Structure 1
């Protein structure tokens, strides 16, 4: 009760503190609102000041950058003006070079003629040297063949004398007979020797011969050798030996004679050849001397013509202050003139470019200057506004300090709110404490009253229970209460037995529930009365049903297996189908390629490849054709890949066949194709030469000029252009010419650079 009174006093004090805190907050709220408004204004003004300062810094940086750009542009203008002054000074100093603009082409033609003439002179001088060398060679050959002829003549004389000596030595040995006669005598002696040898072998047979009786061998009746008159073999041998010696000596002399005759014949033949070569060398010497004279005369003429042309060239170059130089290199001179022209044209172009750039730069400088003035004025205006903003911030800050000092209204409001919250918390805590004490006091009071009533009501029950306990104890055999307490089990055993009893009780309950459930199910099945048949009748049927169910399950498993295999087969088929589709796409691509370029004899591919090259050539030809005329355009025929059509832009872009072109149009198209071909090149083939045979006679003056200008451009690209024509206009336009003049006898004479007479 004392605690309740104390908590009631604490609750009243907490109510007073909360009321005072709320009053303080209510008092401060108008001031806080005014201060917040001032702080918000200050924040806005400071933010605006920061933005203005940042803008001023950006404008100042931009102004500084523009001023730097202005200075850079002015410095650039000074440099450009100086460069322009130098270019103008160069143009004034080299004013004569302007003459090259209109006259360099003529000078190039003259210089090229002089270079060609110099080359011709060099070739002619080389021809003179070659002729002189040929003359010297012919003289040396003549001298050599003359000496060789004299030498061979002496050798022929020596061979003839030797032959005469051999014949004179053979004459006494043969004694006015022929050698074959001596050989016939030798053969007769040899036969005689053989006969004597045969006779000597028939000695026994000779002894049996009788005069008047025939010989058994030959049948003769006369027997000259029967009496032993056989010629002596030694005499025959002596004669054969003598003949052998004579024949051997004669053969040696005859061999020497044949050798001498061969040597004499060879010397005579060589002498004849030497005399023939001597005559040829004499003719070649005369021819070489005549060629030297002709080449020397032609060289003098060329040098005179070169001197005349050189003088004409330097007279033409007098406006350029080019001094005449006999040993001048015309190629270097021409390159120098070209360089002077390039420098002049470059400086003129540079002067025009610098003039335009200087004018544009002046305009840009004026524009930058105007922008700088605007930026300076804008920056000054922003700086003035910044000063005004700073003054407003200072005034607002002073007003705020006068109202609330340096205190933070948010922190003050948070402090007052926290004080109110703390007071209210204390108030709520005191109220809760007081309510709790009050509740506890009332509960305690009610409990006391209840306990008093329960004690009064249970005193009689307690006496009754003590009487019943004493009677039960006595009936159980316990003398007193202490013996009963001693006989009791310990708490652990009692708890174990209690738990076991509870478990048995639980199981008994579950079994009763299961029995009741089975009985209910049995009653339910009996109430359904599915069949009246007995178990003995139903058991076989059940077994058959089980077998059928097993069969159905096996069939179902087989069907599932087949379904799985079917799914796998479908997946494989899908993969194969994808592969087939890929192959069909690849086959289609090859089929399209075959349709485009495939054929058994390669015609389509050849036409395709030739069509690519043909299309490339048409592109080059159209670029050349565009230089000559804007009327025509070459295109591929839509039906024939290697045929041409012509688009006529002067006839509303009509497409015409090349077969319908006039002579002049055909020539222009042919020339464009030839020029296009000349521009085509590969790694191994380059077309550097182009020869045009006739066709210029079908062109009008304008088309002829265009064609010649195009050919001149090709010539400047380093290509050799040859024109064969009877058109007189070409003769006047082409400097380097080879003229063909017909002469009698179906022959023609050529004259021009690189042409010389053949003896």
Structure 2
């Protein structure tokens, strides 16, 4: 990396545009960057870092986008000047130009107030002299990735190897192993080794969790074995816990004992079951024989009881048999009886129908015969035919009436339509004027709405500005009070500091005398004798008290500056808000805004009706045309209906004479026809009723004759006696079934009383069934108990066998897991530095960093030997720290004058500076090689040269000058006056009330 040109505008303490020509500085090899305290020497380096990484070095980087960007802008810069940093440099073989602008506020181009300008970045590349600069990207992310790839190092690495912060390396020398490890870890990116440690620790935790889960499962199986063993278990459950290596053997041994005990209990239960089965078989045989004897005795007794009951029912059997025989004789008379009953029912029905038909006839026809009634029916039908012929004329007359009613309805509708049309058309002019006025009103409202819309936004902005003005007025008063308080505190702090300084100067002799050593020359007079050294007086002030007061004074001044900036910002915002708001109050502006908004809403509402008003006028015009057309059509229909009504009147007159004749004395032709049809129907019904009565009377007489003959042949004296002897078929079947049952029962009883085994059993003593049953139930209960005990013993044995196999399977699965856990745990402990095999307690990351630190120490020693005239050598130490601390990142300085090594924390101020400088240069070389060997042609060293004596300063400058052999340029950032004499090429930063400026001096001339 080679820097060419840096341009800074409104950045840090620089108000105007400042340019640094690094090509001129590089030609000198070593150049001095100096200036008064607070002038902005470090800000030049911040600008380089900001251009490359869009951020300043970590110690000065603020958190948060707005706060960070605000901290970069110069407080001295005018409001219209943009904060910008532009850096031209060469990376590899590419010449690039990077431009950065942080987010910042600027005055609005229109109106008053300020707006926020977003952060901007631009990357350009110089192709050839003919082509010139070519834009590459405007994306922050793309530019950051491109620069990061070309540099090959992070911002932390760049700030450590290019902007060498001497104070950081002094702390690095005095730091412990943990602090050194953090810095080296950031520079060399050993996160992958820390990730290996974390990964192994994670694997160890995972493996441990799997082992514990396996142990938990094994203990769960052991618990189930204990539950299955129950009271028969003679061994207690193993007391081991998850993670105990001896858990698996203990569970397997305990399961084997429980399983053997269950086998023995099963054998005992099997022997007890065999004895119970023998007892139960003997009791069963006794019970079966007793039951058989009781059955036979009961069977014989039942036969005797049934025989006695059968003999008692014999009279009923004989009576049923006689009744059944008489009923079967009467069945031969049943057909004749049925025919006679049917004839009688038919005759009664015919007589009833005849009475009903004669009641509907006139009195003179009640005794008329069937033939005369039929003749009268035919005459009525002929008359009905003549009346039906007139029904067509009657229907046409009714149609004419309906048609005339429809014509009247149409006439009324047309009259209403003509009246409505005439009334609506009479108001047409007024209606049209009303619609036109609505359109004109809506158009005027639209114009008014546009005017009000242009007034609302300014009114709202003025209202917001008035509210902001009132709020900022209170803030301005508060900030003014804070500023006055800060100024008072600053004055008090400065007076305190000046007072302490004056008191210290008055007692400076005592302070110098405190540093006198007998025999050594005085720093003031040079004498080795100190006869009367000054003594400190009461209230002596030392340098620490003065420095503390000076720091307090500077802090108070910084607080005043911050309060002034805050007050100025509030005043500026207040002035802008007051200018926008004018002299109106918030209430007046709020009322004005509300009135304008209300009037605009009303005007907008009225304007929105323009389209509706136009459509209403169009609809009214269309309706007028429709009403005119409808009026003309109605008038035409009125004329046509007059002609049609006259024709209908003529036709109605012709039909009326024919209808008078057809109606007769009835109200209508239909009524007359219905009357004639009813008379013909009654005559026909009466003729049919007379014929049915005569026919049924003859059938009844014939039925009486056949019934008397059938009863005599069946053996009955009269038909009535035969009817009484008849029985329904169901009752006959019932008598037959009862007789069959009695006969079957008689045969069964005879067979049972004839059985020899039942008769022999009846002669024996009664059977004792209850005693045999009790004996059998006792034996059966004993058998069930023995069987249940055997089943339980076998089930327990089978369950324990299965659980034992499950425990063995869990142990087999747990073996590889435990082996893997032990292997991973050993590796994790080894890399974490907690293993006994790692005698130095060195972590893996620390081991890698120790190797890097050893390279850094070797590179630093090459320069340290020249700076110290061959006296000091920097070596790496991996000895363990005290108190059990981890080792690997120790640093010792070997003094060749004494041959002893001592810790870097014991170095003096001057020794610490050049040792840390050598360490910084060595670290820069190693980090550069680590980052891919990217060439770094420009280095900056910040402060620390004031602690060196002349000889050491010359040696250090010689070492820095030797860097020119690699075509490097070194910038020394210092305010030491002696360096201005030794280094001719200088970049001076001068501060003033209007901001700092940068000037270049080469060989005593200004540039």
TM-score (norm 2): 0.24
Point out the structure with the larger strand share. 2
In our comparison, the structure showing a higher alpha carbon Rg is 1
TM-score (norm 1): 0.30
Higher RCO (CA 8 Å, separation ≥ 6 residues): 2
